[in-house]
Amino acid sequence: MLVRDAMSTVVLTIGPTHTLRQAAALMSARRVGAAIIHDPDAGGIGILTERDILNSVGLGQNPDTEPVHAHTTTDVVFAAPAWTLEEAARAMAHGGFRHLIVLDREPVGIVSVRDIIRCWAPARQQALAMASPVSH
């Protein structure tokens, strides 16, 4: 199975000057765990995850005044739609993150660990069912 088959195309894109509270509200409303941050001044595309917001709040920073750009990961690893889910999972494990922005010249989606599990779990159950001997 390929990244294009698993990725979420419901992509939230926000600007770097939003506050963390605004980002959290938008992410919650869209039911997504990450947002693409478009910041032409800082090199283009970055990602903000729920963990970034959690870390900021845990440090005692004010989500009403903390700008998104201060918490955005700009050293992003991108996936291609034609990558296999194994390639995406390997990149996530190697980098220690749970989301990949999917690029096809421009962002077309985000694939998460949850997306990969959602695809792999039924396939594994089907394979196990086919491999199990039928008893009468």
pLDDT digits (tens, 9 = 90+) for 101-114: 999 988 999 999 99
Mean pLDDT, residues 39-64 taken together:
91
> In the block, which residue shows the tokens 């390639």?
87
C-alpha separations of 66 from 23, 38, 55 in Å? 10, 17, 12
**pLDDT band at residue 44, thresholds of 50, 70 and 90?**
confident
pTM over 0.85, yes/no: no
- Whether CATH 3.20.20.20 fits 3-130: no
Kindly state the tokens that stand for 106. 């421009």
- Gap between the Cα atoms of 81 and 70, Å rounded: 29
The H or E element that residue 112 is part of is: strand 106-112
Domain layout of the chain by residue ranges: 3-130
pLDDT at 120: 84
